[in-house]
A and B are shown apart, each in its own frame.
Chain A
Amino acid sequence: MKLIKCIVRPNKVDEVKDALSKLSVSGMTVTEVRGHGKQKGHTAIYRGKEYNVSLLPKMEIEVVVPDRLVHDCIKAVIEAARTGEIGDGRVFVMPVEQSYRIRTGERDID
């Protein structure tokens, strides 16, 4: 199992969600986050005054998927979230050792 953590543009969440659903990835966690990547934010000007927008609003989508789906999921996320401009986001993949369903105490096997 892998945890796939995607940082995407806020307006891309729905497309990413749809793309993942098509792969039968059902459970996901979506969080409003703020941060910056290489672009380190940018400078905005309001009424002649520059102000630095260092932390940009982004959405974080986390899914846990069986190893066999990892590749497809990454591909789907990248396709759905890409605009080609700076600030499209990142996808991180991490190993998951164990996973349990709290209601039943049942352990997920892959």
Chain B
Amino acid sequence: MASSAPGQAAAPNGDSGHSSLRKQLDAARQELSDATGRGQGGRAALAQYADTIDGLVATLFTGALGDAPTAVVLALGGYGRRHLCLHSDVDLLVLFAGPLDASDEVRLGKFLHPLWDLGLVVGHQVRQLKDFTRIEADNPEFLLALLDARPIAGDRDLFDRFTATFHRAPLHAHLLDALLTLTDERHAPFNATFYQLEPDVKAAPGGLRDLAAVRAIARLTDPALLRQGPSDSARLDEAEEFLLRTRSILHLDSKRNQNVLSHAVQEKAAGLLTYPGALPQARVERLMGDYFRHARGVARWLEWIRRVAPVPVGPNLVKSADGVRFLDAGVAASHPDTWLSAFQAAIDCATAVSDDTLSSIQEHAERFTERDFLLDPTRRDAWLEFLKPRAGLYARLSQMHDSGLLGRILPEFGAITCRVVRDFYHKYTVDEHTLLAIRTVERLAAPPASPGPQPRERERFASLLLDLDRPELLVLALLLHDIGKARDEDHVSESVRLARGIFERLALPAEAREVVEFLIANHLQMSMIAFRRDTEDPETVRRFAALVGVEERLKMLCLLTLADVEAVSLETLTPWKEELLWRLYVDAYNQLTLGYGDELIDRSQSELAQFLAARHGDLTPEEISRFLEGLPRRYLRLFDREAIERHVRLARDIHPDTVHVSLEQKGSAWELTVVTMDKPFLFSNISGVLSSFGMDILRGHAMTSPNGLVLDIFQFTDSERFLELNPDARDEFVAVLDNVVSGLVDVTARLRGREQSLVHRRPPRVTPVVHCDNHASQRYTIVEIVADDALGLLYRISRVMSQQGCDVDLVLISTEGHKAIDVFHITQAGAKLSAAAQDALAARLQRLLEEDHEVD
């Protein structure tokens, strides 16, 4: 197509309408050729030619698709800019509102065929609107051409919808990136210099594409840049006029889309552009002198704008040298719900929020109340997301506080601004103490590069932070732990009272509320016990463990205490105190994970009575008691009422060989709950089924009551999205689980294929640890295992235990990054293991973990 010269093509299909179009086209081409011959084939002439093509396209489009089409035709790229040279491609996008049907295809043909018949070189794309909701990363040229999209005919509303869909910050950022890469690639064959003796006026450095790039960068980042720049923007216009006039001559002379100003054409071009001079050589020199002057101007602009252009980092947000700022401060001023995103973007880009943006926030913040900032669930989620501990959180929170925004979002925090509480210890105002405590957590998450590596003593606390499921709740608790100090009363209960109001505004889910409230209410407990109580007394530890209940809360309270104490003054948190804190943590952790099997729910407990009193109507006290009695008391701490009631229902009508299962999606993870009766190899079979589907088990609990009822809960990720993408996946999964548990299918065979593909994929990162303990529990031998997380690990470990004749009664499963930490409570013939049996089991497990993958 590109080689067929327009004007020489056959007449379109003998249609009289089309022959009139042919006449219009020929006349327009003649007019452009004449102007080019006079050296005036510049912007005005090209725009006039583009207008004629617009007319043809509109006529044909309306003719083919009717007066009220559900489509719009857009001019793209150079044609969109109305810089259409004689042999330029006519780039079009036909955009439909929805999917195309067969009749649309026919109509499309009726529109496009005459254009081809007219001999135009049409580059066309056909899309539907929803194609633009996701970034099409593999076609940057097309996306960049869309920047100049201009509607010619069809549904204008559709064009407006396209504009709204297309012009989004993430896409702008992507386009900017793509544009810079393409520009570098385009410059490479020219050795990145504009001093070309035979320049390509379109592609060479300083040419028309560079000029378009300057404007595109301004459009994508800050249009006001075009009014600044290394020279007057009129210089750009002059350069454009010169380059287009020259390009028109090249097209006219070569009769094709040829853009190289070769030695052979330079003389003719100099003549047509009426450069003075007695000799051709003198005229050519003047022409090329002008060319280099313009190319230099364009190249400088491009170099400048690449250097100074802010990078789009979010809606109405850009990153410049002085930090993240609003592109349009006026728009931002009336949308306080968007302000948080400036701070979020600053953290993401490892920079600050710019001073002018802070001033603007400070100026307008007072016009709004706390409700205006947390308008909807998205904003509230964004607020919690913002609190995730990572580098820059303290600095951005401080900026937010200094600008008055933090105190507007959380007036309760605003009330402790510069609050002085006199005691012997605190060295900073209450607000700064709070922010410094958050800095301690931030530094655990992202240790500062200087002044040296994080001390080993801190790494152990950092590992707790890594393990937290929702570290942002720890930061929220820190932010609120001292807000009660605004009054002179008991600050802990006042902080809790105020925090409850904040939970309401944040619409925090009940589970998160409980955690944060627990942390605030108990924020002085751990330091008091660690530093002032006899922690060598097992009763002290037992009571403290009972207070925290579960490991997650223990870890959070430990970190909160560390941060709170450190933020009192530089001298408060001594290595001595750190050691005491850590020791209490370890003792309580061991109490929670190793000792919990001895504390069972029984009928006489008040917890059980309370639960029964508030039970849901369909549940009888008998079935609840039957289910709960004999399970570890820890169970009541781990799950909320709703979950426990679900488990009770799941346990209804359970018989040997029946398996009751529920499978739920929980955020990015899944949760499998299994209720059945105990039997040998049960735990390894269930974990084996999960692994055979490629599921990565993150955490879980397995519990067995003395009457043989088993409750296993696994949280896992499904990285292959098997469950999400396949409609029958759940049924298949449950069927396999049923068959494996009842012994109809051997899970080892199912697993073999998967494991072989994973064997030896990576070297071990964790030295495996197997530790047996016969003292921590009165009833169980406890096996603690720390190893590299690997597919099927739980299955293999528990299978070995079963093969050794052990009953797996209780299991705690957790994962920290790539490290699996599993605690098994086991028995052999109803009793703890003998020393010999322990040694034999430990040796087999150690060998298994060292061999990494053993399938037998």
Q: Which residues of A contact B537 (CB under 8 A)?
A: 83
B534 engages A48 (CB within 8 Å): no
Query: Count the B residues whose beta carbon is within 8 Å of the partner chain — how many?
Result: 25
B536 engages A57 (CB within 8 Å): no
B771 engages A49 (CB within 8 Å): yes
Q: Which residues of B contact A44 (CB under 8 A)?
A: 583, 586-587
B586 engages A11 (CB within 8 Å): no
A11 engages B576 (CB within 8 Å): no
Distance to closest chain A CB from B89 (angstroms): 66
A33 engages B784 (CB within 8 Å): no
Q: How far is the CA of A9 from the CA of B534 in the complex (A)?
A: 8
A85 engages B536 (CB within 8 Å): yes
B769 engages A10 (CB within 8 Å): no
Distance to closest chain A CB from B137 (angstroms): 43
A49 engages B576 (CB within 8 Å): no
A48 engages B786 (CB within 8 Å): yes
Q: A48-B769, A48-B786 are in contact. Are A32 and B574 (CB under 8 A)?
A: yes
B771 engages A32 (CB within 8 Å): no
Q: How far is the CA of A48 from the CA of B821 in the complex (A)?
A: 9
Q: Which of A1-41 contact B (CB under 8 A)?
A: 9-12, 14, 32-34
A32 engages B577 (CB within 8 Å): yes
Q: Which residues of A contact B771 (CB under 8 A)?
A: 45, 48-50
Interface residues on A, range: 20 to 34
Could you say which of B535, B536, B574 has the most chain A C-beta atoms within 10 Å of its C-beta?
B536
Q: Which residues of B contact A32 (CB under 8 A)?
A: 574, 576-577
B786 engages A57 (CB within 8 Å): no
Q: Which residues of B contact A14 (CB under 8 A)?
A: 532
B773 engages A87 (CB within 8 Å): no
Q: Which of B775-813 contact A (CB under 8 A)?
A: 784-786
Q: Which residues of B contact A34 (CB under 8 A)?
A: 576, 579
Q: Which residues of B contact A57 (CB under 8 A)?
A: 576-577, 579-580, 583
Question: Is B413 an interface residue, CB under 8 A from the partner?
Answer: no
A10 engages B583 (CB within 8 Å): no
B576 engages A33 (CB within 8 Å): yes
Question: Is A46 an interface residue, CB under 8 A from the partner?
Answer: yes
Distance to closest chain B CB from A53 (angstroms): 7
A11 engages B532 (CB within 8 Å): yes
Question: Is B611 an interface residue, CB under 8 A from the partner?
Answer: no
Could you say which of A32, A47, A57, A87 has the most chain B C-beta atoms within 10 Å of its C-beta?
A47
Could you say which of A12, A14, A57, A87 has the most chain B C-beta atoms within 10 Å of its C-beta?
A57
B586 engages A48 (CB within 8 Å): no
B536 engages A47 (CB within 8 Å): no
Could you say which of A9, A10, A50 has the most chain B C-beta atoms within 10 Å of its C-beta?
A10
Q: Which residues of A contact B586 (CB under 8 A)?
A: 44, 46
Distance to closest chain A CB from B551 (angstroms): 11
Interface residues as binary, A68-91 with B (CB distance below 8 Å gives 1, 0 otherwise) = 000000000000000101010000
Q: Which residues of A contact B589 (CB under 8 A)?
A: 46
Q: Which residues of A contact B769 (CB under 8 A)?
A: 47-49
Q: Which residues of B contact A33 (CB under 8 A)?
A: 576
B590 engages A46 (CB within 8 Å): yes
Distance to closest chain B CB from A2 (angstroms): 27
Question: Is B503 an interface residue, CB under 8 A from the partner?
Answer: no
Question: Is B190 an interface residue, CB under 8 A from the partner?
Answer: no
Q: Which residues of B contact A47 (CB under 8 A)?
A: 769, 784, 786, 821
Chain B residue with Cβ nearest A59? B576
Chain A residue with Cβ nearest B773? A45
Chain B residue with Cβ nearest A33? B576
Distance to closest chain B CB from A51 (angstroms): 9
Q: How far is the CA of A3 from the CA of B688 in the complex (A)?
A: 68
Q: How far is the CA of A10 from the CA of B773 in the complex (A)?
A: 29
Q: Which residues of A contact B535 (CB under 8 A)?
A: 11
Distance to closest chain B CB from A109 (angstroms): 32
B532 engages A10 (CB within 8 Å): yes
Chain B residue with Cβ nearest A44? B586
Interface residues as binary, B498-533 with A (CB distance below 8 Å gives 1, 0 otherwise) = 000000000000000000000000000000000111
Chain A residue with Cβ nearest B783? A48
Q: Which residues of B contact A45 (CB under 8 A)?
A: 590, 771, 773, 784
Q: How far is the CA of A95 from the CA of B579 in the complex (A)?
A: 33
Q: Which residues of B contact A53 (CB under 8 A)?
A: 583
Question: Is B546 an interface residue, CB under 8 A from the partner?
Answer: no
Q: Which residues of B contact A87 (CB under 8 A)?
A: 536
Q: Which residues of B contact A49 (CB under 8 A)?
A: 769, 771, 786
Distance to closest chain A CB from B446 (angstroms): 24
Q: A32-B576, A33-B576, A57-B576 are in contact. Are A48 and B532 (CB under 8 A)?
A: no
Q: Which residues of A contact B536 (CB under 8 A)?
A: 9, 85, 87
Distance to closest chain A CB from B754 (angstroms): 27
Distance to closest chain B CB from A32 (angstroms): 4
B576 engages A48 (CB within 8 Å): no
Question: Is B770 an interface residue, CB under 8 A from the partner?
Answer: yes
Distance to closest chain B CB from A17 (angstroms): 12
B531 engages A10 (CB within 8 Å): yes
Chain B residue with Cβ nearest A14? B532
Distance to closest chain A CB from B36 (angstroms): 80
Q: Which residues of A contact B784 (CB under 8 A)?
A: 45, 47-48
Q: How far is the CA of A83 from the CA of B535 in the complex (A)?
A: 12
Chain B residue with Cβ nearest A86? B536
Interface residues as binary, B401-426 with A (CB distance below 8 Å gives 1, 0 otherwise) = 00000000000000000000000000
Chain A residue with Cβ nearest B577? A32
Distance to closest chain B CB from A110 (angstroms): 32
Chain A residue with Cβ nearest B784? A48
Chain A residue with Cβ nearest B463? A47
Q: How far is the CA of A32 from the CA of B576 in the complex (A)?
A: 7
Q: How far is the CA of A11 from the CA of B536 in the complex (A)?
A: 10
Interface residues as binary, B223-254 with A (CB distance below 8 Å gives 1, 0 otherwise) = 00000000000000000000000000000000
Q: Which of B543-600 contact A (CB under 8 A)?
A: 574, 576-577, 579-580, 583, 586-587, 589-590
24 pairs, A vs B, C-beta closer than 8 Å: A9-B534, A9-B536, A10-B531, A10-B580, A11-B531, A11-B534, A12-B534, A14-B532, A33-B576, A34-B576, A34-B579, A44-B586, A44-B587, A47-B821, A48-B769, A48-B784, A48-B785, A48-B786, A49-B786, A53-B583, A57-B579, A57-B580, A83-B534, A87-B536
Q: A10-B531, A45-B771 are in contact. List 19 more A-B contacts (CB 8 A).
A: A10-B580, A11-B531, A11-B533, A14-B532, A32-B574, A32-B577, A44-B587, A46-B590, A47-B769, A47-B821, A48-B771, A48-B786, A49-B769, A49-B786, A50-B771, A53-B583, A57-B577, A57-B579, A57-B580
Nearest 5 CB-CB pairings of A with B: A48-B771, A48-B784, A32-B576, A48-B769, A11-B534
A residues engaging B (CB < 8 A)? 9-12, 14, 32-34, 44-50, 53, 57, 83, 85, 87
